[in-house]
Amino acid sequence: MQQEAYFRIRLSTIRPSKATSFDIYLNINGQMVHYLKAGDKLSELKIETLHNRDTGNSFFVLTEQKQAYRDWVKEEMNSDDLNPFEKSKILRESSVALMEDLFENPDVHKALDESRPIIKNFIDFMEQAPEAMGYMISLSGHDFYTYNHSLDVSIYSLGLGSVLSYGRADLEELGVGSLFHDIGKRNVALDILCKKGGLDDHEWEQMKRHPQYGLMILNENPKISDAIKAACFEHHESFSGNGYPQGIVGQEIHPFARIVAITDTYDALTTQRSYNLPMKPIDAVTMMRDKLAGRYDPDFLKAMYSVLFKLKAAA
Ligand SMILES: [Fe+2]
Ligand SMILES: [Fe+2]
């Protein structure tokens, strides 16, 4: 399949009553079949029968129509016909599809530029509907772990940033930085990334290099701010100083990296993975406060309780 020619979409981002502004293709055994013309509507019946076949790898749009798809999502976000929960679903699912593109695109500069509209959509929507954060988190799909993880960390970080009264410009930087915090994992072998159970010493060494790899990737782009680089390079530093790769302490660690350190662990603890059961939100933060004491900025960790409160409001 000519991957660069198409990008994946989720059928759940398309509602039957609205005509699309782009063509939709169905992937049948590696062959792209033209499925819906721009300007046509999906029927309820088609949606029902095909939803079950939407493995996340079935429906595609031409890359040259990406802007049309994005504009269409944006329009849906401003539509009066949809409630915040439906909007959250569209935003989340459309972002996951675009994430694949971001992480697999060899052109990181372009990927970074393209992530900005996603982050702006998140911030707009979270401002518009206070329950949005909780809704978007609860909608993690079944995609490759790193995409969902990066999106979740980005959403939690925006939540934490807004509790900490960050302004719009800082939130945007924080959103992009947290979206790309694990970008260095592109350079770690896939069998290490996907290995179930523990890593041996050599594998762990490789894994622990991802902040450096990430910095190298981001350094290639002169437009990337130091704050975004810090969110990536310093997110495994520990407030008490025994983190990696530099072992820096407390306020030496960039605030964005101190935020991502919290939201990154929080997401790992509360997400279902093959070898552990997810923790309850309150238990995860309490464990980070007690058992993992010293690793995180205590003031930011305290603010995380307010983020939980917001999440609960959506439940
Ligand atoms: Fe990481
Ligand atoms: Fe991470």
Ligand nearest to the CA of 233: 1
Residue-averaged pLDDT of the chain: 86
Q: What is the C-alpha separation between 124 and 132, in angstroms, rounded?
A: 10
pLDDT at residue 1 above 50? no
Task: State both tokens at 56.
Answer: 């996340």
- Whole-number Å distance, alpha carbon 210 to ligand 1 midpoint, is 7
The arithmetic mean of pLDDT across residues 65-77, rounded, is 88
- Whole-number Å distance, alpha carbon 146 to ligand 2 midpoint, is 8
CB within 8 Å of 163: residues ≥ 6 apart: 303, 306, 307, 310
pLDDT in tens, 160-205: 999 999 999 999 999 999 999 998 988 888 888 878 778 899 999 9
Neighbours of ion ligand 1 (CB under 5 A): 182
- Whole-number Å distance, alpha carbon 182 to ligand 2 midpoint, is 5
pTM to 2 decimals? Answer: 0.86
Task: Tell me the one-letter amino acid at 67.
Answer: Q
Task: State both tokens at 54.
Answer: 């939407």
- Whole-number Å distance, alpha carbon 192 to ligand 1 midpoint, is 14
- Whole-number Å distance, alpha carbon 35 to ligand 2 midpoint, is 37
- Cis ω for the linkage preceding 245 (within 30 of 0): yes
**83-314: CATH number:** 1.10.3210.10
Ligand nearest to the CA of 178: 2
- Whole-number Å distance, alpha carbon 269 to ligand 2 midpoint, is 11
The arithmetic mean of pLDDT across residues 74-102, rounded, is 82
pLDDT in tens, 299-309: 999 999 999 98
Ligand nearest to the CA of 236: 1
pLDDT at residue 46 above 80? no
Domain borders along the chain are 1-63, 83-314
- Whole-number Å distance, alpha carbon 48 to ligand 2 midpoint, is 35
8 Å CB contact between 96 and 156: no
Ligand nearest to the CA of 265: 2
Task: State both tokens at 22.
Answer: 């782009």
CB within 8 Å of 201: residues ≥ 6 apart: none
CB within 8 Å of 37: residues ≥ 6 apart: 23
Q: What is the C-alpha separation between 177 and 140, in angstroms, rounded?
A: 20
Q: Report the half-sphere exposure of 257 (CA within 13 A, side-chain side).
A: 28
Ligand nearest to the CA of 237: 1
Report H helices in the chain. 44-51, 66-77, 84-104, 108-128, 132-137, 145-163, 168-179, 190-193, 201-207, 210-219, 226-233, 255-270, 281-290, 298-314
pLDDT of residue 55: 63
pLDDT in tens, 234-254: 999 999 999 999 999 999 999
- Whole-number Å distance, alpha carbon 197 to ligand 2 midpoint, is 17
Which residue pairs, CB below 8 angstroms and at least 24 apart, start in 16-19?
16/41, 16/42, 16/43, 16/44, 16/46, 16/47, 17/41, 17/81, 18/76
Q: How confident is the model at residue 274 (pLDDT cuts 50, 70, 90)?
A: low
- Whole-number Å distance, alpha carbon 30 to ligand 1 midpoint, is 33
Q: What is the C-alpha separation between 124 and 119, in angstroms, rounded?
A: 9
pLDDT at residue 135 above 70? yes
- Whole-number Å distance, alpha carbon 114 to ligand 1 midpoint, is 22
The arithmetic mean of pLDDT across residues 132-154, rounded, is 73
- Whole-number Å distance, alpha carbon 264 to ligand 2 midpoint, is 5
- Whole-number Å distance, alpha carbon 187 to ligand 2 midpoint, is 14
Task: State both tokens at 188.
Answer: 């770690």
Lookup result for tokens 């989340």: 92
Report H helices in 129-221. 132-137, 145-163, 168-179, 190-193, 201-207, 210-219
Ligand nearest to the CA of 188: 1
- Whole-number Å distance, alpha carbon 53 to ligand 2 midpoint, is 30
- Whole-number Å distance, alpha carbon 246 to ligand 1 midpoint, is 14
Ligand nearest to the CA of 151: 2
Number of Cβ atoms within 10 Å of the Cβ of 123: 19
Task: State both tokens at 269.
Answer: 């603890």
Ligand nearest to the CA of 149: 2
Q: How confident is the model at residue 53 (pLDDT cuts 50, 70, 90)?
A: low
For 194, 233, 274, the CA distances from 203, given in Å and listed in that order, are 12, 19, 19
pLDDT in tens, 213-236: 999 999 988 888 999 999 999 999
Number of Cβ atoms within 10 Å of the Cβ of 162: 22
- Whole-number Å distance, alpha carbon 181 to ligand 2 midpoint, is 6
pLDDT of residue 56: 62
- Whole-number Å distance, alpha carbon 19 to ligand 2 midpoint, is 38
Number of Cβ atoms within 10 Å of the Cβ of 64: 10
Q: What is the C-alpha separation between 140 and 223, in angstroms, rounded?
A: 31
Angle at 182 between CA 123 and CA 281, to 5 degrees: 60
pLDDT at residue 295 above 60? yes
